[in-house]
Amino acid sequence: MTDLFKDVPVIKYEGPRSKNPFSFKQYNPDELIGGKTMKEHLRFAMAYWHTMTATGTDPFGVGTAIRPYEYTTNPLKLAEIRVKAAFEFMEKLGIEYFCFHDCDIAPQGANLAEFRKNLDKIVPMIKEKMKETDIKCLWGTANVFGHPRYVHGASTSPNFDALAFAGAQVKKALEITKELGGANYVFWGGREGYETLLNTNMGLELDNMGRFLNAAADYAEEIEFRPTFLIEPKPKEPTKHQYDFDAATAMGFLRKYGLDKRNFKLNIEANHATLAGHTFQHELATSRINGMLGSIDANQGDPNLGWDTDQFPTDVYNTTLCMYEVLKNGGLHSGGLNFDAKVRRGSFTPEDLFLAHIAGMDAFAKGLRVAYRLLEDRVLEDFVDKRYASFTTGIGAEYVEGKIGLAELEAYALEKGEVTNVSGRQELLETIVNDYIYEN
Ligand code: XLS
Ligand code: NI
Ligand code: NI
């Protein structure tokens, strides 16, 4: 292992009573929970963009991040150093996966051709490190939203040339992700949306996006790359109306363009859910009940701020309800928990990168423990089953079987006289969840 983060040791599990900030209190990677190790349940991934390339800029100021190993301003050299730093970082934390955009790992250069050359230099280095460390690629993607050419969109741009460039980038990103053995390939429609209908042909833009994603699936087939494709819903940001607003909207889109039959699923991000006015659990459950939960971008927002703050997830209530959905989904299969999260601008030391990941990993480990116990004891499950018991016998069961129409409903209601309801007991259930969090 390199020694670029010299002041940080390999992080180990020391248990809940440890006062060592460079240790896990909850995440014990090889501990079995329900016959599976914690690391198999959680499948943590590092986001290359936030952890390796972000500098801490915001609209009001320049970067603040101190990365002592970044001693050169030559972009390609910098990319090489970052490969070493990334793998040392993941090894020290025991993170077994990473996610990347094409432009995170290699500089874009002066044009597309240079970008490809740079990628061809860096990808073999990453591959070598993967072999050396057994760290795997959870997903790859192309950044088709940052460059000025995508100002009006990528696959939904009114300018065909922009769409063509996006196609070239996605083609290469698919090849790279295949080369690195990526289990999934992500599409986050950064600029796929619009600001005003006064200048927008929404129908054509959506059709073009559908065509584009089908072309990507065609090309993957052609090169015998079979990842799970993941659409990452997000509302509002950066465009006012994002086409992949939330899970339900994205699923409607996938079905319309036949992509649900081409192994497209969803990558649900916590902060995107809350921006859409949903809870994280709502988005996970919506995906799960439709068989579309593919992977997770693990972070959290700030209820007092109205944008995608991408903070490290520390809220145990939310990590618990997230893991509850993941367990009910039978796990994440080819997906994982990717820390699409950034340290605050004021947390500018390399140590902060570790402390932030430890915080997130421990919060999810705790969530897993609590969620597993909740499900094992069936406290919520039994309550919910009982709440819907009227659909398991008699005319309710016949309704579920599709045997009952409005005439039968009418006859039944007239005979019944009135409806007797029972309490939903929300406060009691919230207390039960709290009790499980305190106890486990
Ligand atoms: C931005 C998105 C992005 C995707 C990958 O809000 O979360 O980081 O995860 O393009
Ligand atoms: Ni994300
Ligand atoms: Ni985000």
Residue 22 and residue 4: Cα distance in Å, rounded?
17
User: For the chain, how far is it from start to end, CA to CA, in angstroms?
Assistant: 35
- How much distance in Å is there from the Cα of 104 to the middle of ligand 2? 14
pLDDT at 418 > cutoff 90: yes
Residue minimizing CA distance to atom 10 of ligand 1: 188
CA 236 to mean position of chain CA atoms:
17
* pLDDT tens per residue, range 36-80: 999 999 999 999 999 999 999 999 999 999 998 998 999 999 999
Please indicate whether residue 104 is annotated as part of the active site.
Answer: yes
3-state helix, strand, coil in the chain (%, to 5): 50, 10, 40
Residue 396 and residue 413: Cα distance in Å, rounded?
12
- Tokens (6 digits) for 381: 């499950």
* Range 353-378 average pLDDT: 98
pLDDT of the residue at 306 = 86
Q: What is the dihedral of CA 74, 75, 80, 85, to 10 degrees?
A: 100
* pLDDT tens per residue, range 75-132: 999 999 999 999 999 999 999 999 999 999 999 999 999 999 999 999 999 999 999 9
Task: Classify 188 as helix, strand or coil.
Answer: coil
Q: Is the peptide bond before 238 cis (omega within 30 degrees of 0)?
A: yes
Please indicate whether residue 101 is annotated as part of the active site.
Answer: yes
148 burial class (0-12, 13-18, 19+ CB within 10 angstroms)?
Answer: exposed
Closest ligand, as measured to the CA of 298: 2
Ligand 1 atom with the shortest distance to the CA of 50? 8
Residue 230 and residue 359: Cα distance in Å, rounded?
26
pLDDT at 440 > cutoff 90: no
Q: How many CB atoms sit inside 10 A of residue 77's CB?
A: 13
Q: In this structure, what DSSP letter does residue 197 have?
A: G
Residue minimizing CA distance to atom 7 of ligand 1: 340
* Range 138-142 average pLDDT: 99
| Percent of the residues in the chain that have a pLDDT greater than 70, as a whole number | 100
Residue 171 and residue 142: Cα distance in Å, rounded?
9
Residue 345 and residue 58: Cα distance in Å, rounded?
8
234 lines ligand 1 (CB under 6 A): yes
- Tokens (6 digits) for 258: 């036949």
Ligand 1 pocket test: pick from 188, 272, 339 the residue with the most ligand atoms within 8 Å of its Cβ. Answer: 188
